[in-house]
Structure 1
Amino acid sequence: MALAFSGAPAMAAQSPVPAAAPASRGHAELVTLFREWRAFVSPRMVAGVPDYSAAAMTRQAAALPAWRARLAAIDRSGMSVAEANDARYVESEINALDFFQRVLRPWARDPGFYQNVFAEMSDVPAHEGPSAEPNVDLWQFRYPLTRADDRRLATLLETVPPLLAQARTNLAASTVHDLWAYGDRAFIDQVEALAALEAGTLSLNDLDGRRTASLAGASARLKAAVRNARLASESFAAWVKAEAPRRVGPSGVGKDNYNWYLKNVLLSPYDYDQQVVILQRELDRSLASLRIEEARNRAAPPIPELSDPAAYRRMAEGRNQRLWELLVSTGITPDRPYYRSALFGQLGDYTPPAQRNFFTHVTALDPLPLSSHQFHWIELARLKYEPHASPIRATPPLFNIYADRSEGFATAMEELLAQAGLYDDEPHGRELVWIMLANRAARGLASLRVQANEIDLAQAGQFHAAWTPRGWSDANSKLVGFEQLLYLRQPGYGPSYIIGKTQLDRLLAVQSHAAEVAGRPLTLGAAMTRIFASGIVQPSLIERELAAGAPRP
């Protein structure tokens, strides 16, 4: 019996992986504890439905001291630095559940927690934000469905109506206004996905790219399950919208709780106030750099905007090939077909002006800034085809602990690759990189102020849009609302794009200094390979592994 957040994609090894070094006895015990811990975090099922009742959550919280005691009893004296970091990582997951139990309590505060039907694979190791189990990941199925998958999907979808019925009881005392004011949106999306599945027009996305799902040949049971899940979602969205006006409490977790989460879960070297300084510095730097870049490029002809979808697609494929060649030639990414396929699978199509959001304003001119961020998908391919030797790191993190590592490193790729020469043939492309960075810094700053209860989500969206250059961000857009709601629901996520980027700079600096001291060369590819070898864990743990035995700068 337990709580689960952000269900992860199923990723089994499909390629030989080098054998791990023999584990210490303590680490072997840690792996056993970790596997039992993950089983504990999954919710207990009652009549086929996960139990998120107050009684169930109280019992879960009462078990946490025993998990801490078991972890503390494991002998770490013979562990390597990496093995000891695994123990620190497991402790951070226990701390995360503690935080969710004491502070965040999404099952009792957040209507969006109960959205659990997803058409697309997340571009990070698990779903963004907390979500109830079972996650109904429509993208994990192949259509038309086999009989076994038909039954499995029907069983999953049949949990949606009773789960949403339970949610109304669990959320009865919630007063978090912004979570309610914006909370119906997730279920409108869920309704649209289920309706599209019924209509045979649902667009799915995963490592293989986009495809369409259909219920052609589906059983009567599955069709009924889809319909009932859609109707229950429609009803729940209407209930959330109707309840929102009377839910008038504050939304953020407050600075003290936020700092506890940073220190004990994200293992961040920066507290709230330091994050504010860093994000403000990046916002200032990006805006100043944009104007300097514009001056530099004043005589260069503007990027021609293509309006023909076929011509745009050809351009985008050519630009993506340039990105791939740079990743491989610098040694950042090995030349492996599943990495290339993952990257090219996320290439977007032409978007007409009236339908554009912030990101498609950028990609209309050049897809490379966003494609650089799609390094995410290379990382997901690595998880699938080259899982980490440690069973603990081969499993995607819970509670969005990956945020600084995944979102921050993907954001860093945008500027890193620009500096490495990605836009030497199109200098205006560097302007787009600075605009992307300004947007991420502005939305992160806004999210920090929301967590401190200084502003609400509407004001956050206004700040977010006002500080994004060229008027490309709309405070009332679906995208801005989604982003700011996510950052409220998951503390630390909004700043992670900048904070994780800052920590990648630190990891490169540590290696650069060590190489200078040792009098040896260091290439970007070698430095990045060492960083990626630690897997998807908090950057502070990666730094300990890089610096083990080496002088610190």
Structure 2
Amino acid sequence: MKSASVSVLVLLSFLFLLIGCSPDVLRQDSAEYVDLLNLFEEFRDFSEVDHQQPGFATAMENKFSELREVQSRLASFDIGSWPVSEQIDYHLVRAEMNGLEFQLRVLRPWVRDPAFYIDGRGGLGRLPELPIEEDRLSEFQSRLRTVPSHYEQAKANLGGGNLSEIPGDLAILAIRRLEENDDSFAEFVGQLSEHHPGLVADAQGAQAAIDGYLAWLQENRSQMTAPAGVGIENYNWLMKNVYLFPYTWEQIRTIVELEDNRVITFQKLEENRSRNLPPLTPVASSEEYRRSVLNSLENVMRFIQGQEIFTVQDHIVVDGYRQGRLRATSRPWPDKHDYFFNFSHRESLMEETHEMVGHHFDLLRAREDDRPIRGSREHEGPYDMAVARLEGLAFAFEELLMHAGYLDERPQRARSVTYEQAAFRTVRALSDVYMHSQDWSLTSAMEFAVSNAPHGELLDDSPHLWNEMQTTLLHVGWHAQMVVGKVHFMKLFRDRAQQLGEDFN
């Protein structure tokens, strides 16, 4: 079977995003391609999973064997003579099937991750408003009564009954989530007596099951000794077969370490350059922050259009994002802010560029794409398949637009903030690389982040750091792809410039 190389496919994926190819131009309707569309639709239906079904673990093992049959059918296609656009669609379907395989064969959260059973409060889901409507009482009571069996099943599933097969670092994250959980359910149980006293006993039983699960994790944590990282072999398989990423773990490590060297060097040079200038004054209220954000949105759009950085199609508009930011910046000003606000409260332009130009505009493009395979994909893609493009490009915009001039009229110290943000992302990427090679534990990675991230003292034992580490372990390669995706975009930029010569603009 002949196919386009993985590296070419990745480059094409970036290229389609940037030049805004018309979906209709790329669509093909050959008989074999229609067969691919039918198989893709069948696979999408097949891959839907009910996490709350009884015997979930057994169902997942059965699904893996069924997946092999679907993958075999896909492999029987001979795509050698297909147009490139159809070959790309074929490889996207293949990658998505491989994404499900990685979930079923490697990650297996129902066996490895104690937090898998915390989501949705053991099947309760979102708590209803009180009083509960009469026609929903019976259904909610049934859900309450299943919670104890849910957590008993969790104990049996985890590690396949062998505590030493449960990753200790994932247990630590689950314990913290349960310990830090707000008292909303306890408050809910207390309020039930006023509205639905007949549900109180079942609700108390559910609460006891949740508390018992936490106690079980705490008591057995020392016996949970399996590594949380997936290992280099599995990491490489994921990069090649799911993310269609043309780099191995070793190459990713080298790229991330070189980027870390570069951004910290540039950060320190900028700090020296600005050493005699007054520091940036952080905003101190919701109103100040709102003005900063709106100014940044106006600034970046004016710059992109005025400097003709890329084509802004008619559907690429600021309105929806702007309204969302107005709502977000109208909330009461908290006493303590998330770590990343340390950057955006001093200069919001880079973060707003990342979120609006990098992510929101990408979402708007996706909504305009009605192609059967690419157009039916979620904004970020299933199994994190789009991360290298989605996050790499958004991250690249922060610094590359600075070099293009969008900070020229801002305070000079804003350039340092750009590199501070980049340095934090290389810290996360290094944690990704070394936790999944199983060289670093969760504790080691957190200590590294506090010691090496800009203003790392703000990270120490913070909710932000815990969340970042959980994301790193559960979304394998996410943070590394953000950094390497940025580097790969610059490679595409360079290759396209070389290809077009003086016609490049």
> Which TM class, normalised by the smaller chain length?
0.7 to 0.9
Instruction: Give the alignment partner of residue 281 of structure 2, picking from 304, 310, 319.
Output: 304
Change (3 A) 1:97 1:22: closer
Q: Which residue of 1 aligns with 2:395?
A: 411
Residue 43 of structure 1 aligns to a residue in which SS? coil
Aligned-pair distance for 1:470?
A: 3.4
Q: Which amino acid aligns with 2:388?
A: D
Contact 1:107 1:113 in 2 (8 A): yes
Aligned-pair distance for 1:300?
A: 3.5
1:26 maps to 2:32: yes
Q: Which residue of 2 aligns with 1:535?
A: none
Aligned-pair distance for 1:283?
A: 0.8
1:391 maps to 2:391: no
Change (3 A) 1:257 1:318: same
Spell out the pairing of 1:252-291 with structure 2 (5 A cutoff): 252-291=229-268
Contact 1:358 1:472 in 2 (8 A): no
Q: Which residue of 1 aligns with 2:82?
A: 79
Mapped partners of 1:429, 1:345: distance in 2: 24
Instruction: Give the alignment partner of residue 422 of structure 2, picking from 437, 443, 452.
Output: 437
Change (3 A) 1:170 1:303: same
Q: Which residue of 1 aligns with 2:18?
A: none
Mapped partners of 1:384, 1:197: distance in 2: 40
Worse-matched range after superposition: 74-83 or 26-35: 74-83
Residue 284 of structure 1 aligns to a residue in which SS? helix
Q: Which residue of 1 aligns with 2:97?
A: 94
Aligned-pair distance for 1:101?
A: 2.8
Q: Which amino acid aligns with 2:35?
A: E
1:177 maps to 2:160: no
Aligned-pair distance for 1:236?
A: 3.6
Which one has the bigger helix percentage? 2
Aligned-pair distance for 1:346?
A: 4.1
Mapped partners of 1:219, 1:324: distance in 2: 54
Contact 1:359 1:370 in 2 (8 A): no
Residue 455 of structure 2 aligns to a residue in which SS? helix
Mapped partners of 1:114, 1:520: distance in 2: 56
1:314 maps to 2:291: yes
Residue 455 of structure 1 aligns to a residue in which SS? coil
Q: Which residue of 2 aligns with 1:520?
A: 503
RMSD between aligned residues: 4.0
Aligned-pair distance for 1:383?
A: 6.2
Q: Which residue of 1 aligns with 2:481?
A: 496
Aligned-pair distance for 1:227?
A: 8.8
Q: Which residue of 2 aligns with 1:345?
A: 324
Contact 1:252 1:488 in 2 (8 A): yes
Instruction: Give the alignment partner of residue 53 of structure 2, picking from 19, 25, 49.
Output: 49
Q: Which amino acid aligns with 2:119?
A: N
Change (3 A) 1:193 1:51: farther
Contact 2:131 2:196 in 1 (8 A): no
Mapped partners of 1:236, 1:255: distance in 2: 32
Change (3 A) 1:25 1:162: farther
Q: Which residue of 1 aligns with 2:224?
A: 247
Change (3 A) 1:467 1:227: same
Mapped partners of 2:305, 2:202: distance in 1: 46
Aligned-pair distance for 1:89?
A: 1.5
Contact 2:449 2:456 in 1 (8 A): no
Contact 2:168 2:225 in 1 (8 A): yes
Mapped partners of 1:247, 1:408: distance in 2: 35
Mapped partners of 2:135, 2:264: distance in 1: 50
Change (3 A) 1:264 1:312: closer
Q: Which amino acid aligns with 1:497?
A: M
Worse-matched range after superposition: 369-378 or 335-344: 335-344
Aligned-pair distance for 1:244?
A: 1.9
Spell out the pairing of 1:120-139 with structure 2 (5 A cutoff): none
Mapped partners of 1:266, 1:291: distance in 2: 34
Mapped partners of 2:377, 2:131: distance in 1: 27
Change (3 A) 1:345 1:254: same
What is the TM-score with the length of structure 1 in the denominator? 0.73
Worse-matched range after superposition: 174-183 or 466-475: 466-475
Mapped partners of 1:219, 1:157: distance in 2: 15
1:316-346 deviations in Å (ceiling 9; x for gaps): 3222332343345433644647643225524
Query: How many residue pairs were aligned?
Result: 468
Residue 488 of structure 1 aligns to a residue in which SS? helix
Change (3 A) 1:408 1:234: farther
Mapped partners of 1:222, 1:377: distance in 2: 44
1:113 maps to 2:116: yes
Change (3 A) 1:18 1:266: closer
Worse-matched range after superposition: 227-236 or 264-273: 227-236
Mapped partners of 2:196, 2:316: distance in 1: 37
Structure 1 residue runs of 5 or longer lacking an equivalent are 1-16, 119-131, 201-214, 523-553
Q: Which amino acid aligns with 2:324?
A: G
Spell out the pairing of 1:364-375 with structure 2 (5 A cutoff): 364-375=345-356
Larger radius of gyration: 2
Residue 65 of structure 1 aligns to a residue in which SS? helix
Change (3 A) 1:145 1:487: farther
Q: Which residue of 1 aligns with 2:405?
A: 421
Mapped partners of 1:374, 1:160: distance in 2: 38
Residue 182 of structure 1 aligns to a residue in which SS? helix
Contact 2:296 2:348 in 1 (8 A): yes
Mapped partners of 2:453, 2:387: distance in 1: 22
1:351-376 deviations in Å (ceiling 9; x for gaps): 97962342011122122222222135
Aligned-pair distance for 1:29?
A: 1.3
1:417-476 deviations in Å (ceiling 9; x for gaps): 322333222221111110111111112112211112212111101112211123454242
Aligned-pair distance for 1:96?
A: 2.4
Change (3 A) 1:228 1:89: farther
Spell out the pairing of 1:110-259 with structure 2 (5 A cutoff): 110-117=113-120, 163-171=150-158, 172-173=161-162, 174-187=165-178, 233-259=210-236
1:39 maps to 2:24: no
Aligned-pair distance for 1:286?
A: 0.7
Change (3 A) 1:157 1:503: farther
Aligned-pair distance for 1:256?
A: 1.8
Contact 2:293 2:348 in 1 (8 A): yes
Q: Which residue of 2 aligns with 1:326?
A: 303
Aligned-pair distance for 1:164?
A: 4.0
1:489-522 deviations in Å (ceiling 9; x for gaps): 2321231210111122122223222221xx5243
Mapped partners of 1:433, 1:314: distance in 2: 20
1:378 maps to 2:369: no
Residue 449 of structure 1 aligns to a residue in which SS? helix
Worse-matched range after superposition: 497-506 or 35-44: 35-44
Aligned-pair distance for 1:230?
A: 6.8
What is the TM-score with the length of structure 2 in the denominator? 0.79
Spell out the pairing of 1:344-363 with structure 2 (5 A cutoff): 345-346=324-325, 349=329, 355-363=336-344
Q: Which amino acid aligns with 1:345?
A: G
Residue 470 of structure 2 aligns to a residue in which SS? helix
